Amino acid sequence: MAINKVESGRWQADAQPQGRGGRRVRKTFNTKAEAIRWERAQFATADKGEWTPPQRDRRRLEDLIEEWYKLHGHTLKKGDERRDYLLSLCQLMGNPFARQLTATFYAEFRQKRLRGELKANKRHRGPISANTCNHDLTYLRAVFNELIRLGKWKGENPLASIRRLKFDDQELSFLDIEQIKRLLSALKESGSRHALLVATICLATGARWSEAQNLRGEQIRNGRITFSRTKNGKVRSVPISNTLEREIFAERPRSGPLFLYCYKAFTRVLDTCRIHLPKGQASHVLRHTFASHFMMRGGNLLALKEILGHADIKMTMRYAHLAPEHLEDAVNKNPLAALTL
């Protein structure tokens, strides 16, 4: 019938493969060439007598999320958590029909979410950051990508053309020596022996709070802590001092869980110390503190990557600017320096 460019800039193919009086079908593509190929394929199938009108997909977004979880999501390390997050996001969207989830639909939803114009649910409250929006987009795209691979979604990923939002990098906060002293002293006075030791381990090894808090005695041997079940699934071992090892086992057995949940106790003490941190950085401030002081004292960037367990050196490069010699040549090799020669 026809292939025309629509307002969105995409190309819509409009055809009646069975001829006049037959079922009319339309489909939109990113390029004219894709639309032409699709139209030709419909007519070729009709010529063979094999063409049947496409059935309208009645599935809602919630149905796709559940199918994704059943076929793939349950195998992920935090699959249950991801599924709950996606279903909560789906509820915020109004659980649309899957075919309604177009690039335009999602872009408008994202704009309202950024402005806090949507009725929040327990998981998603008020305005959100651009970084959170990018995470949402990544998770939803992954659902469609996986269903396409499994043959459970026909056509393109409806979110493939949505661009990630750009935002300024946030400086990673870390504690200076005086703040570390104040924090450790306050933790000691708080009476929370567990929080004090977990914080000490984080400062000594660069561990995430959850990694240190969930340690078992078997993971500490011969002056090393071996962290397993980490965020990226990699196992890593980090040396510790004999003093710290003795302190950990002073009142604890060498097997089984070492600490009780104590993160709330830590954050309460952090508040009493009047250490103000950017939103969302409290749980990682000790890890950032270790990495920052490691580099400021001349530590090697590749060694830091292994200690922190980063899969990509780009993550570790966030601390490179703290090295004493970082970009030092800017002083000696700028054009003004040549004038003094």
Element (H, E) at 22: none
Q: Does 172 map to a domain?
A: no
Place of tokens 């004219």: 32
In a domain, 333, yes or no: no
Same domain assignment for residues 37 and 69: no
- Establish if 25 belongs to a structural domain: yes
Q: What is the pLDDT of residues 307-340, one digit of tens each?
A: 999 989 999 998 988 888 777 777 777 787 777 6
Q: Tell whether 15 and 99 lie within a shared domain.
A: no
Report how far residue 67's alpha carbon sits from residue 222's, in angstroms, rounded to the nearest whole number.
Answer: 47
- β-strands 25-29, 220-221 pairing: unpaired
Does position 154 have pLDDT exceeding 80, yes or no?
Answer: yes
Question: What is the pLDDT at residue 155?
Answer: 82
Q: Are residues 183 and 318 in the same domain?
A: yes
Between CA 144 and CA 65 the distance in angstroms is 9
Residues 196 and 251 occupy one common structural domain? yes
Among the residues of 214-317, which ranges form H helices?
242-248, 263-272, 285-296, 301-308, 313-316
Question: Which positions are catalytic?
Answer: 208, 231, 284, 287, 310, 319
Do 12 and 116 fall into the same domain?
Answer: no
pLDDT tens digit sequence for 60-97 = 999 999 999 999 999 998 899 999 999 999 999 999 99
Q: Are residues 193 and 265 in the same domain?
A: yes
Q: Are residues 314 and 207 in the same domain?
A: yes
Residues 194 and 304 in one domain: yes
Query: Which residue, 184, 177, 168, is CA-closest to 297?
Result: 177
CA distance 254 to 167: 46
Residue 329 placed within a domain: no
Q: Indicate the number of domains in the chain.
A: 3
Question: Within this chain, do residues 94 and 189 fall inside the same structural domain, yes or no?
Answer: no
* 203 in the same domain as 275: yes
Residue 243 forms part of a structural domain: yes
Whether the per-residue pLDDT at 1 is higher than 70: the answer is no
> What CATH number does the domain containing 206 carry?
1.10.443.10
Is residue 117 located within the same domain as residue 246?
no
- In which domain, by residue range, is 257 found? 177-322
Give tens-digit pLDDT for 156-195.
899 999 999 987 777 788 999 999 999 999 999 998 889 9
What is the reported pTM?
0.68
* Confidence label for 234 from pLDDT (cuts 50, 70 and 90): confident
> Is 267:279 a contact under the CB 8 Å cutoff?
no
Are 23 and 67 part of one and the same domain? no
The answer to the question of residue 8 being in a domain is: yes
Q: Band of the pLDDT at 124, cuts 50, 70, 90?
A: low
90 located within any domain? yes
Residue 328 lies in a domain: no
Determine the pLDDT at residue 58: 87
